[in-house]
Structure 1
Amino acid sequence: MFDNILDSVLSPWLQHTTSDSDHIVISSRIRLARNFRDILFTNKNDEAALSHVDSIVRGLVSTLKDSDNQDYYCISLDKLSDIERSILVEKHLISPVMAEKMPFRSLLVSDDASVAIMVNEEDHLRIQTMEAGLNLMKAFHHAECIDNAIDEKQPFAFNESFGYLTACPTNVGTGLRASVMLHLPALAMTGRINRLVRSIVQLGYSVRGLYGEGSEALGHVYQVSNQRTMGISEVDTIEQLTKIIEGIIAEERKCRQSLVHNDKEGFEDHLWRSYGILRYARSISGQESLEKLSDVQLGVDLDILPAWPIDSFNKLVAITRPNFLLKYMGKEELTPQGRDNYRATIIRETFSQK
């Protein structure tokens, strides 16, 4: 089962179509930071405590299965290759920090990869649930179900005054991080994205790139999440973030129409040039491919470019990432030029199948 997760271009949960005709919202994620009661936090680097946590988690597989009727697999991350751990980062199943080879770090993942529990990252557990589209509440209810099932077996560190206790003070309280991944090409093209980001940050939310904290917004993909975890309930956090996201979606749609009406010929020429590069290029870098794929998805959404299968953007973003590309080829090493050549081949083949 775990090999299927590594080998699949898209995780099964992301293959579900969304209700958005313009595909602005890619996915929703809920993350709960949790620590077991009376066990040293992970950042103490106490080997006995790390081993104890890892042992507890391995005994939770049947508990998790009973909670949501999914099969779960537990893998020790230090048994994976560097490329395999990097692929898990590219699939958003573990954080970049988690990809560092360290003992007693493991991953509990469901058969459809909609649940990924990082063990011994910054906290004992980082419970993550994912859903396609704007479905934060659905993802939260799933996370809550898993959270309760684990807490019944092994109680979490909790204080009546402060809430859930975490290694980083910014997570104390609910321990909840709700985030939505968005494709915002028009806001970026019109130069309005920076002002919007500043406004969102001033409201107490964070805006990050494709791979979370410290990453770039490659392919005009952004992650928006809450920062406040104390003095507010989980439901209120999700409802407020949902309103923020709905406002961003409205702004992106306005910008798309503005691009069409203000310089229709120039805008269409830009999109068709991107289409042509992807359709015929013999070599293309990862960054350029994401930029051009973003343009093409925008053109498809606006009925300017030929339609393609609904999950084409997500699939090509996934398959052209450097580490997954190597695994897809069945190679462990490749020159940068060879990788760029093969990336272009994969994209050309996808376009020829349309």
Structure 2
Amino acid sequence: MLLHKHLTPELKARLDTLTTRHGWTLRKTIQSGLAHEDSQMGVYAGDSESYALFSPLLHPIIREHSGHDLSGQSSDFSLDGLPQDDLDPTGEFILSTRIRVGRNLARYAFPPAIGARDRAALEAEVVQVLSRLPGALAGEYHPLASLSEARREELVRRHILFQQADRFLDSAGVNRDWPRNRGLFHSADKRFIVWVGEEDALRIISMQPGSGLAAAFLRLKEALGQLDAHLDFARDSRLGFLTACPTNLGTAMRASVLIRLPYLSRRPDFHARCARLGLSVRGLHGEHSEPHDGIHDVSNAVRLGVTERDIYQRLRAGVQALMALEADARAAAARQRSRAG
């Protein structure tokens, strides 16, 4: 765990007396890591100020995890000159495409630290902005507390709704007051979704059936333009958009496809191949889940020190490479069956 590597007794003594304006302390920053030895980083931020006040601990951890020198973060949603056609028009490999970003609001604490009164105020502010979204982005907001358990479970199965946070986030304080002042906004076609009150204040999501990466990307770009005009998102010139978990800093973007790779994924070097392509691999139902019938969730591995355009370009190229490798693996398996027959 990076926490243990970088938190020396001297540094702990130096930071122990510090508190942000929202009451976030060193102890709260590291409490999830102390509770879970299998945590990767072991730290969470409670507000924007955390990244400055506890920078002697957080910045070295972020540098080592990301490989980025924290020299600066820019944003670029342009796709000019990049291919925008469907990656897999026949649907042979890709089931769906999903792009999400995390956002917090500058004047509020983040979900690990936010109080009940501010949580309600943040929800009201966000819902008012969401209610004015135009065209295909327009939709309805559903407070979690208003949904039946059966309805919640159905939406979770369809990857439209989030669940109560996992044990790492629970230890960080994200699950307090569950499910009050949390909710789901979705457009009529459910291709644009906003989660309110999950790991970050907002998870803004664009979904597309099949391999329409460009369509999902451009919808998200439009939505963020609308929201950014009315909401003051927490951001920093060096770290980019500020998130509760430092692994999401930078663009705070995770662009992914659900892809069938039953032959390629059987090979022992599958994960290493994906890593070399700059891709991260999860199971069918996201982090800590298992693949099913060779279906994997494949996404960009890097969020910090790259632009949104970079993520689009690298994911597209990486997924194209995986489809070619899977086709080769299928052909090899067919030849082997033919020889055996």
Please give the alpha-carbon distance, in whole angstroms, between the structure 2 residues aligned to 1:78 and 1:102: 6
Distance 1:253 1:229 in 2: 29
Structure 1 segment 8-27 matched on structure 2, within 5 A: 19-21=88-90, 23-27=92-96
State the distance in 1 between where 2:289 and 2:234 align: 31
1:58 matched to 2:132? The reply is: no
Counterpart among 217, 220, 223 of residue 143 in structure 1: 220
- 1:79 matched to 2:146? The reply is yes
Partner of 1:186: 263
Q: Percent identity?
A: 30
- Counterpart of 2:234 (choices 151, 157, 163) is 157
Task: Report what 2:48 is aligned to.
Answer: none
Q: CA RMSD in A?
A: 2.3
Q: 1:108 aligns with which of 185, 191, 207?
A: 185
- Post-superposition Cα deviations, 1:115-169, rounded to whole Å, max 9, x if no partner, equal 1111010111000001122222321111111111111112111222221111111
1:167-186 matches, within 5 Å, as 167-186=244-263
8 Å contact kept, 2:206–2:217 = yes
TM-score (norm 2): 0.67
Q: Please say if residues 89 and 211 of structure 1, whose CA atoms lie closer than 8 Å, have aligned partners that are also in contact.
A: no
Q: Which runs of 5+ in 1 are unaligned?
A: 1-16, 268-354
1:95 is matched with which residue? 162
- The answer on 1:46 being equivalent to 2:120 is no
| Counterpart-to-counterpart distance in 1, 2:89 and 2:331 | 16
Question: Contact 2:137–2:223 (CA<8 Å) still a contact in 1?
Answer: no
CA contact (8 A) 1:35 1:166 kept: yes
Q: CA deviation at 1:69?
A: 3.3
Structure 2, unaligned stretches of length 5 or more?
1-85, 167-174
Identify, as 1 or 2, the structure richer in helix: 1
**Cα deviation code 1:88-132 (max 9, x no counterpart):** 121111233369852111000011110111101011100000112
Write the distance in 2 (CA, Å) between the matches of 1:259 and 1:141.
38
Residues 119/22 of structure 1: CA separation in 2 closer, same or farther (3 Å cut)? closer
Q: Scaled by the length of structure 1, what TM-score is found?
A: 0.65
Runs (4+) off by over 6 Å = none
Contact 2:101–2:204 (CA under 8 A) maintained in structure 1: yes
Deviation at 1:71, TM superposition (A): 3.4
Partner of 2:306: 232
- Alignment check: 8 A CA contact 2:195 2:204 kept: yes
- In 2 relative to 1, CA 240–50 (structure 1 residues): closer, same or farther, beyond 3 Å? same
Query: Once the two structures are superposed, what CA deviation does each residue of 1:286-333 show, in whole Å capped at 9, x if it has no partner?
Result: xxxxxxxxxxxxxxxxxxxxxxxxxxxxxxxxxxxxxxxxxxxxxxxx
SS of equivalent to 1:32: strand
Question: How is 1:1-354 mapped onto 2 (pairs within 5 angstroms)?
Answer: 19-21=88-90, 23-64=92-133, 66=134, 68-97=135-164, 102-188=179-265, 191-192=266-267, 194-264=268-338
Contact (CA 8 Å) 1:114, 1:131: kept in 2 or not?
A: yes
3-state DSSP of counterpart to 1:185: coil
User: Residues 164-188 of structure 1: CA distance to partner in whole angstroms, max 9, x if unpaired?
Assistant: 1111111111111111110122324
Residues 209-259 of structure 1, C-alpha deviation per residue, up to 9 Å, x if partnerless?
Answer: 111001110122101111311211100111011111001101111122222
